[in-house]
């Protein structure tokens, strides 16, 4: 690569996760002058990757790779391979000869939020606080128009989180609108607001939510130019630390007066989002109590149960649940949906979180300590 010898038949390839810190001498013509971006796969790409990683694995008849591709936005090829292998391990632990949809859904959540920790002992008082916290996230996210659909809420610990609310986008998104960010901040604060309303006190469980909400609000003001008062300006320049591999600090290129205005704008965005969440939850207090009671009883509420709760059909849903065992006894060898026993009785839901992790928004109750 010294430029003196002509080597037309030699191709040198290299890969990096930080092209922004490369020496410009490496990138000039005649050296690494062609850059190919390998981004996270889109819906079609995930579908094709799943075809490769599920080849040779015993999949149940109800498995639809198109549905799984929609359920895994933001997953890389390695993430897809990981969750398929996790599903195979779960099926083996359950003594099954085929991988079913239940194992694949659990494997997706393992990749997103970590494995369940059912061995963690939580008191009834804390369990109810967590239930109200997650119900607050889910209810605010359901009411606001610009948030992703809520897919599942749980008060079973996963990873370092004591509970989580999983919101999955309907399609791959590459842009975020101002309204979407404001609604996302309100949803993040829904857990803290629910604690204040229902418990009459606040806990350390919302620490991660507050951190992410504050970070997003500051980015809206300083990076995305979404402040009406400060206008479309980029405020602050990141200092790229080569050896640390991350933006360690920011160099302010504005006056102290502007810094004061930035703090005021961030404060205003957070306060307005808090007020939105507070209004939603106070107006729907009975529904919030019902959701918390169901979460304490069942620990996990999936999409079908959640839709029944939010649409006011919970009594009808319980009645339908009571009829199903009778139908199963009346038709031995088949489940309530008419499919052979051992198959998947639940129809896979074509859904596609923030985030936080893998670009998927997951609102959690934070870590096990302050």
Tens-place pLDDT, residues 73-89: 888 899 999 999 999 99
Rg (CA), the chain: 24
- How many helical (H) and strand (E) elements, i.e. helices and strands, does the chain have? 12, 6
Alpha helices in 144-177 (DSSP H): none
Catalytic residue among 105, 134, 195, 265: 134
Q: Which of 138-142, 168-172, 221-225, 256-260 has the lowest mean pLDDT?
A: 168-172
User: By percentage, how much of the chain surpasses pLDDT 70?
Assistant: 81
Query: Can you give the pLDDT at residue 32?
Result: 81
Is 328 one of the annotated active-site residues of the chain? Answer: no
pLDDT of residue 280: 96
346 confidence band (pLDDT: 50, 70, 90):
very low
Q: What is the DSSP string of 15-43?
A: --S-GGGS-HHHHSTTSS----------H
- Asked which of 172-186, 214-228, 240-254 is least confident by mean pLDDT, the reply is 240-254
Length of the chain: 370
Residue 250 in contact with residue 236, Cβ under 8 Å? Answer: yes
Higher pLDDT, 359 or 256: 256
* Domains along the sequence of the chain with CATH: 124-305+351-364 (1.20.58.760)
The mean pLDDT of the chain is 82
d(CA 175, CA 42): 14
**pLDDT at 359 exceeding the cut of 60:** no
The pLDDT confidence band at residue 334, using thresholds 50, 70 and 90, is very low
Is the pLDDT at 310 greater than 50, yes or no? yes
pLDDT value of position 175:
87
pLDDT at 316: 87
Angle, nearest 10°, between helix axes 314-330 and 303-310?
Answer: 140
168-177 pLDDT, tens digit each? 887 788 889 9
pLDDT, tens digit (0-9, with 9 covering 90-100), for 186-239: 999 999 999 999 999 999 999 999 999 999 999 999 999 999 898 898 888 755
CA distances, 185 to each of 191, 213, 273, 294 (Å): 11, 5, 6, 25
Helix axis angle, 77-93 to 43-53, nearest 10°: 50
């Amino acid at each position: 690569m010294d430029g003196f010898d002509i080597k037309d038949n030699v191709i040198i390839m290299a890969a990096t996760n930080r092209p922004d810190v490369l020496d410009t001498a490496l990138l000039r013509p005649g050296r690494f002058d062609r850059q190919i971006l390998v981004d996270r796969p889109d819906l079609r790409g995930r579908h094709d990757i799943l075809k490769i990683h599920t080849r040779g694995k015993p999949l149940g008849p109800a498995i639809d790779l198109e549905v799984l591709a929609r359920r895994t936005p933001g997953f890389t090829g390695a993430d897809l391979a990981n969750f398929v292998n996790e599903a195979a391990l779960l099926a083996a632990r359950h003594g099954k000869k085929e991988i079913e949809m239940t194992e694949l859904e659990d494997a997706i959540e393992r990749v997103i939020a970590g494995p369940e920790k059912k061995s963690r002992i939580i008191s009834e008082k804390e369990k109810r606080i967590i239930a109200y916290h997650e119900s607050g996230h889910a209810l605010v996210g359901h009411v606001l128009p610009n948030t992703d659909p809520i897919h599942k809420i749980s008060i079973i610990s996963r990873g370092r989180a004591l509970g989580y609310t999983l919101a999955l986008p309907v399609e791959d998104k590459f842009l975020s609108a101002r309204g979407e960010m404001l609604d996302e901040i309100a949803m993040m604060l829904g857990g803290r607001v629910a604690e204040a309303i229902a418990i009459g006190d606040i806990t350390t469980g919302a620490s991660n939510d507050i951190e992410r909400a504050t970070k997003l609000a500051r980015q809206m003001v300083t990076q995305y130019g979404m402040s009406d008062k400060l206008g479309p300006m980029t405020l602050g320049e990141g200092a790229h630390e080569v050896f640390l591999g991350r933006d360690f600090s920011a160099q302010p290129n504005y006056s102290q007066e502007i810094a004061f205005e930035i703090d005021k704008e961030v404060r205003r965005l957070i306060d307005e989002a808090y007020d939105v969440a507070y209004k939603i939850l106070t107006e729907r207090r009975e529904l919030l109590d019902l959701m918390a009671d169901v979460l304490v009883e069942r620990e996990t509420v999936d999409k079908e149960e959640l839709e029944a709760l939010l649409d006011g059909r919970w009594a009808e849903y319980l009645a339908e649940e009571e009829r199903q065992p009778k139908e199963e006894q009346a038709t031995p060898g088949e489940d309530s949906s008419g499919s052979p026993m051992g198959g998947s009785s639940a129809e896979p839901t074509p859904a596609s979180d923030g985030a936080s992790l893998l670009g998927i928004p997951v609102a959690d109750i934070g870590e096990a300590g302050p």
